[in-house]
Chain A
Amino acid sequence: MAVIELKGVEKSFGSVKVIRGVDLKVEHGEFVVFVGPSGSGKSTLLRLVAGLEETSGGTILIDGRDVTNLGPAERELAMVFQSYALYPHKTIRGNMSFGLEVAGFPKDEIRQRVDEVARLLQLSDYLERKPRELSGGQRQRVAIGRAIVREPVAFMFDEPLSNLDAGLRVDMRIEITKLHQRLGATMIYVTHDQVEAMTLADRIVVLDKGIIQQTGSPLELYEHPANLFVAQFIGSPKMNVLPAAFKEGRISINGGVGIEAGKMTGTDVANVGIRPDDIEISPDGTGLIHGKVDVVERLGSDTFAYVAVPGAHAVTVRAPRDSAVAIGQDVGLTFRPERLQIFAVDGTSLRLRPGV
């Protein structure tokens, strides 16, 4: 249970700056997810918190104690690795006991704690086996169990589910959520998968190029992305982006119709974004923009139509599952102006909404 604070944390490998000044406070018991594309620095940031990398600048505090120069064990954190990193020559019990043995705990207590955690994770029957005799999901649970046994002040997860197949990944996601509820511990979790981030997090930290792009609850990020990067990174399918310009008090989308700019007076409007769920398909000739249906994907629950719009990227539309939309059809696209996200030339969101 801990509050983790990062102040101006920087990290360079040689001349390459990987983390460029990160300030962040993770509250007691909070589940924070670092998300971003590969190379965004999310894993490095986690490793800096865990003490596996040394910082190039800034300080890291755990419960107010400066741990910047301490090794990983002295920070009393636990970590679950992407590859699980189970010691292949030790039994499951040996793997879970190792940290306690190193710390010099009495044998009886080690045995008792391992048994208890094994019961919690339904691993009791496997304690005397070697990691290679276990399935992927079981190994994953051992890795988590090894972390729990030590009763750390916080848990670090480095893409722990990325080596599991899709079905198992969903199951483990739910287990981790339950675990967080039960332990109430502070957890930091790194993933490149925005669905994982949305479902697990109390708070998401979106990273790109070593900088925090936005911090907020999953819905905040979805509804109010701070910039074009976050807007496109969060949400699946991706938010559609269309070129736009500010003309005579209105915002003209894709060179066509303009919509009310409301109180907005800025002239640096460059793009508007609209989520696929917020678009409706209307008959040709109606709607705000027009295009021809290129591809139709029927997923059962939804139908996704990809509409080629002249002068823009294909626009993705989420239509009802029984939608009659067909390839080659000319369609109009309608959406409510208040659902639009408006972005400046530098990509930042212009928080003023038309009609407000």
Chain B
Amino acid sequence: MPDAVATRRRGRVYVTKSVAPYLFLLPFMALFIAFLIAPLCYAFGLSLFKTTMVAGTQFVGAANYLKVFTDPSFWDGVVLLFKFGLMQIPIMLGLALLYALILDSGRVYGRNFFRIAFFIPYAVPSVIAALLWGYLYGPSFGPFGQLAEFFHLPKPQFLLDGTILGSIANIAVWEFMGYNLIIYFAALQAIPQDLEEASSVDGATGLQYALRIKLPLIMPTVIVTIIFSIIGTLQLFSEPYLMRNLAPGIINSHYTPNFYAYTLAFTNQQYNYSAAVSFVLGGVVAVVSYVFMLLANRRAA
């Protein structure tokens, strides 16, 4: 491609249409390869080896993967995440959808105020969120415990075996509801105005318009947010990691698969096995997202 070279013209670098896309992609793609593709390949390589004090590093093929498949520490974590996701995602997205529809209806006071206020938790680092809720959950000094004591009621126990998962789910709802709400709200705002006029001419009430016209129209957006929520849920780490001291014994070192991979790598120095755990988790994420997309498409068809 002789004409594809950048030529110098009147003292200014002149880039032609055929080289331009590569030039624009270069910085991102270089970093993408260095910090995404390369580490992935490296981790995959690692996962095929095993390091022991006695034998050094040796190639073991799929042995690490076979071990993951029968490792209860891993699968307990996956099961926990499923429970967590089935609880947290519907509540979070249901609320986001409900409030987005309410805000979009125009039938509220202070629409902009609420929209921004609901979004603010997204700006709070998950570490800080976990920390703040950790204080609030405290049985003796947390304000909910204090309130219960004042009214001579039994103290709510947020940090016990049966309740802690819900408590963590609450933190995630608090953090990400507003973010999803903003996405839904933007999708709702993009619906042409005359549809509302048409539906009111058709005699539909505001509620009917919201549920039967607007909701189906933003379904594709909802499906995307569900997939992103599934991906996010399966990567749960910061919140339980930070709360491990509040509920010792309940949040163990393999509470979630990410937590487990972290422990394997940095506490036990088992990098090879940790890499295999991460890859299987990645596989679980891909399979769950894919199955969900299949189901969503079948319903849509």
CA distance A188 to B133 in the complex (A): 69
- CB neighbours of B10 from chain A (8 A): 103-104
CA distance A104 to B17 in the complex (A): 20
B205 close to chain A: CB less than 8 A: no
B194 close to chain A: CB less than 8 A: no
- Chain A stretch 99-137: residues in CB contact (< 8 A) with chain B: 103-104
A217 close to chain B: CB less than 8 A: no
- Chain A stretch 215-241: residues in CB contact (< 8 A) with chain B: none
B57 close to chain A: CB less than 8 A: no
- CB neighbours of B208 from chain A (8 A): none
Return B5 CB to nearest CB of chain A, in Å: 13
Return B270 CB to nearest CB of chain A, in Å: 50
CA distance A273 to B16 in the complex (A): 51
A69 close to chain B: CB less than 8 A: yes
0/1 string, A57-71, CB within 8 A of B gives 1: 000000000000101
Return A346 CB to nearest CB of chain B, in Å: 41
B202 close to chain A: CB less than 8 A: no
0/1 string, A69-89, CB within 8 A of B gives 1: 101000000000000000000
CA distance A56 to B17 in the complex (A): 17
User: For the side of the interface on A, what is the size category?
Assistant: under 10
Query: Of all chain B residues, which has the CB nearest A51?
Result: B17
- CB neighbours of A71 from chain B (8 A): 16-17
- CB neighbours of B3 from chain A (8 A): 69
Return A56 CB to nearest CB of chain B, in Å: 15
CA distance A69 to B10 in the complex (A): 21
- CB neighbours of A69 from chain B (8 A): 3
CA distance A69 to B1 in the complex (A): 11
0/1 string, B7-19, CB within 8 A of A gives 1: 0001000001100
- CB neighbours of A104 from chain B (8 A): 10
Return B23 CB to nearest CB of chain A, in Å: 16
0/1 string, A33-71, CB within 8 A of B gives 1: 000000000000000000000000000000000000101
CA distance A260 to B15 in the complex (A): 67
CA distance A71 to B15 in the complex (A): 11
Query: Of all chain A residues, which has the CB nearest B9?
Result: A104
CA distance A103 to B12 in the complex (A): 10
Return A103 CB to nearest CB of chain B, in Å: 8
0/1 string, B139-177, CB within 8 A of A gives 1: 000000000000000000000000000000000000000
Return A102 CB to nearest CB of chain B, in Å: 8
Return B11 CB to nearest CB of chain A, in Å: 8
- Chain B stretch 1-38: residues in CB contact (< 8 A) with chain A: 3, 10, 16-17
Return A250 CB to nearest CB of chain B, in Å: 57
Return A47 CB to nearest CB of chain B, in Å: 13
- CB neighbours of B17 from chain A (8 A): 71
CA distance A71 to B6 in the complex (A): 13
- CB neighbours of A103 from chain B (8 A): 10
CA distance A20 to B17 in the complex (A): 25
CA distance A103 to B9 in the complex (A): 9
Return A71 CB to nearest CB of chain B, in Å: 7
CA distance A73 to B10 in the complex (A): 14
Return B142 CB to nearest CB of chain A, in Å: 53
CA distance A160 to B17 in the complex (A): 25
CA distance A233 to B12 in the complex (A): 49
Return B161 CB to nearest CB of chain A, in Å: 60
Return A4 CB to nearest CB of chain B, in Å: 21
Query: Of all chain A residues, which has the CB nearest B10?
Result: A104
Query: Of all chain A residues, which has the CB nearest B3?
Result: A69
Query: Of all chain B residues, which has the CB nearest A70?
Result: B3
CA distance A103 to B17 in the complex (A): 18
CA distance A71 to B9 in the complex (A): 14
CA distance A71 to B10 in the complex (A): 16
CA distance A30 to B10 in the complex (A): 33
Query: Of all chain A residues, which has the CB nearest B18?
Result: A54
CA distance A103 to B10 in the complex (A): 8
CA distance A99 to B17 in the complex (A): 17
- CB neighbours of B16 from chain A (8 A): 71
Query: Of all chain B residues, which has the CB nearest A52?
Result: B17
CA distance A103 to B3 in the complex (A): 20
Return B4 CB to nearest CB of chain A, in Å: 11
Return B12 CB to nearest CB of chain A, in Å: 8
Query: Of all chain B residues, which has the CB nearest A69?
Result: B3
Return B20 CB to nearest CB of chain A, in Å: 11
Query: Of all chain A residues, which has the CB nearest B17?
Result: A71
CA distance A69 to B3 in the complex (A): 9
CA distance A69 to B16 in the complex (A): 12
CA distance A69 to B4 in the complex (A): 11
CA distance A71 to B4 in the complex (A): 11
Return A37 CB to nearest CB of chain B, in Å: 28
Return A104 CB to nearest CB of chain B, in Å: 5
CA distance A282 to B168 in the complex (A): 88
0/1 string, A132-156, CB within 8 A of B gives 1: 0000000000000000000000000
Return B45 CB to nearest CB of chain A, in Å: 38
CA distance A246 to B186 in the complex (A): 65
CA distance A71 to B16 in the complex (A): 8
CA distance A133 to B257 in the complex (A): 58
Return A165 CB to nearest CB of chain B, in Å: 20
Return A286 CB to nearest CB of chain B, in Å: 51
CA distance A41 to B10 in the complex (A): 36
Return B208 CB to nearest CB of chain A, in Å: 37
CA distance A326 to B287 in the complex (A): 70
Return B51 CB to nearest CB of chain A, in Å: 50
- Some 5 contacts from A to B, beta carbons below 8 A apart, are A69-B3, A71-B16, A71-B17, A103-B10, A104-B10
> Closest 5 CB pairs between A and B?
A104-B10, A69-B3, A71-B16, A71-B17, A103-B10
